[in-house]
């Protein structure tokens, strides 16, 4: 397995982590996406990432759009950080009925 270092003109997205998979596309519509490989190093000071890449794989060009994805196995965990505690109070003198309460959760990259 070879390595490739990609240097960016802008700061790297803070949610990129070692172990994420990098991809690229040269297609303006983003319909053809090619895998670069697993990110093995990140240098925020120099705006660069290093990825594994197959020796025979086509390399991205200077104008390629680079994107990344996270692996579900490393980013699905039980709750370890933020949480919400909610309490509902009726300050009215009349009785009321609560029809519905809903929540929404999502995976975070942090």
> Per the structure block, which two tokens stand in for 5?
């270092």
Distances (CA, A) of 36 to 48, 58, 78: 14, 8, 30
Q: What is the CATH number of the domain that holds 24?
A: 2.60.40
- Model confidence at 7, pLDDT cuts 50, 70, 90, reads very high
Average pLDDT over the chain, rounded to an integer: 85
39 within some domain? yes
Tell me the pTM. Answer: 0.65
28 within some domain? yes
pLDDT of residue 108: 63
Look at the chain and report how many structural domains it folds into: 1
pLDDT of residue 64: 93
11 within some domain? yes
Q: Over the stretch 28-50, which tens digit does the pLDDT of each residue have?
A: 888 899 999 999 999 999 999 99
Tell me which residue range forms the domain holding 66: 2-75
43 within some domain? yes
61 within some domain? yes
Task: Decide if pLDDT at 106 tops 90.
Answer: no
- Identify whether the C-beta of residue 21 lies closer than 8 Å to the C-beta of residue 37: yes
- Model confidence at 75, pLDDT cuts 50, 70, 90, reads low
């Amino acid at each position: 397995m070879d390595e490739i270092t990609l240097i960016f003109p802008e700061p790297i997205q803070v949610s990129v982590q070692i172990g994420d998979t990098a991809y690229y596309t040269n297609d303006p519509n983003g319909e053809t996406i090619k895998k670069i490989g697993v990110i093995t190093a990140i240098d925020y000071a120099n705006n660069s990432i290093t990825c594994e890449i197959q020796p025979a794989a086509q390399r991205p060009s200077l104008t390629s759009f680079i994107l990344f994805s996270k692996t579900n196995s490393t980013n699905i965990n039980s709750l370890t950080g933020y949480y919400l505690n909610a309490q509902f109070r009726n300050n009215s003198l009349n009785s009321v009925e609560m029809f519905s309460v809903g929540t929404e959760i999502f995976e975070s990259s942090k």
